[in-house]
Amino acid sequence: MNKSKETLTREAWRGMSLPERLDHLENIYVKHPAVMNILSYVGRELEYRNADGKTSGLIIIAPSGAGKSALIKHLIRAYPKVETEESRTCPVIAFTVPTVPSSKTMGASLLKGMDDVLWDRGTAGRKFDRIGKLLGPAKTRLILIDNFQDIPTRRKSRGILNVATWVRDLCDINFGGIVIALGTAESLKVRDANEQVQRRLKAKLSLPVFAGGSDAELKEFAKLLKSIERLLPMAEDSAIYSVGMTKRMHCATKGNFDYLMTLLKNAICVAERKGEESITITTLHEAFAHEHGDYAASENPFAPDFLWTNLDQPGQVFYNATFSVTVEEEMEAE
């Protein structure tokens, strides 16, 4: 197709291949209110940092599956690398906390994230010095550290302090951008390792899952579904956000963005196999069963006789699954 997939009409998707549909679905990003709050903050903060040349810190708390990875991908797309014969910029550096977090491995991961050929060379100190020299010429604006909660999970108190100190020192490099730590509420243990780190990561925003305990919360979830529905790579409308379907969709995903997108991916696969151009309740029933196997046998939210349970009992899909914020409900929301 000559048209960008973002501008394709419904009918243009008719007969499109499954890989093309799934590729499009992978890049769907819905800017719901929590996302907009984060993007607005980042945009304003970058203006301030561009003006004074200093660096600030931000911690984003997101339960597993809330869309953290999708946010990172969006930021990378929003601030793309630019390469010419004379220079190469790296506005966004994104890396995941390494298996054994330390000042040396964190430095190596950051350098690797900006495609530095010497990322695995030298001591922790030399790596840090190199980072300081490269950020300015690379015109880096954002440093994204994913799975920040893995630091306290994998290190004891002294190790946590060691890595926290590295993060503090990173925030002290004046490259005119933002250091953003992303993770579950366990990440707060790193931020609060000492007062200096806490001061540098004093700004905190949340990316929650969508609750569905009240009619108002279900309406917000329905808005998300409606936004996604408009972008689905199908030739005909699907009714995933209708009054009856919204509650079924929430029961099937717990309002978890990652679960939701996986369910829709499986539903598109089922529909394409059947030669259908919309996602129906029958399609979703089969997609949910395929995704969860035997766990879906006891209760399937898209079955006519669904009992509207939470699917959190032994033998059910969400048994022992955690979607809460934890760490004393994010330090009582501070």
**Which pLDDT tens digit goes with each residue over 189-204?**
888 888 888 999 989 9
- Looking at the chain, the whole-number percentage of residues with pLDDT higher than 70 is 94
- Give pLDDT tens digits for 167-191: 999 999 999 999 999 999 989 988 8
Beta bridge partners of residue 61, listed in sequence order: 183, 206
Report pLDDT for 331.
Answer: 45
Match 């597993």 to its residue by tokens.
Answer: 64
DSSP string for 36-81: HHHHHHHHHHHHHHHHH---EEEEEE--TTSSHHHHHHHHHHHS--
pLDDT score, position 324:
54
What is the structure's pLDDT at 308?
86
Determine the distance from the C-alpha atom of residue 36 to the mean position of all C-alpha atoms in its chain, rounded to a whole number. Answer: 13
pLDDT, one tens digit per residue, over 152-169 is: 877 777 778 888 999 999
Mean pLDDT of the chain: 89
Distance CA 325, CA 334 (A): 13
Q: Is pLDDT at 327 greater than 50 in this prediction?
A: no
CA dist., res. 246 & res. 65, Å (int): 19
Q: Is the pLDDT of residue 312 over 90?
A: no
**Polymer length in residues for the chain:** 334
CA terminus-to-terminus distance, the chain: 50
Q: Encode pLDDT of 17-44 as tens digits.
A: 999 999 999 988 888 889 999 999 999 9
Report, as an integer, the average pLDDT of 96-101: 92
Q: Which helix (H) or strand (E) holds 93?
A: strand 92-96
Q: Which amino acid is at 236?
A: E
Specify the DSSP element, H or E, that contains 92: strand 92-96
Is the model's pLDDT at 84 over the cut of 70? yes
**Least confident segment among 153-157, 262-266, 275-279, 310-314:** 153-157
Where in the chain are the domains?
5-28+212-298, 33-200
Would you place residue 309 in the very low, low, confident or very high pLDDT band (cuts 50, 70, 90)? Answer: confident
CATH fold label, 33-200: Rossmann fold (3.40.50)
Torsion angles phi and psi, residue 59, rounded to 5: -115, 130
pTM of the complete model: 0.86
| pLDDT reported for residue 323 | 61
| pLDDT value of residue 317 | 86
Asked whether residue 328 carries a pLDDT value surpassing 50, the answer given is no
**pLDDT on residue 332:** 47
Confidence of residue 322 (pLDDT cuts 50, 70, 90): low
> Residue 162 has what pLDDT?
86
CA 87, CA 66: separation in Å to the nearest integer? 36
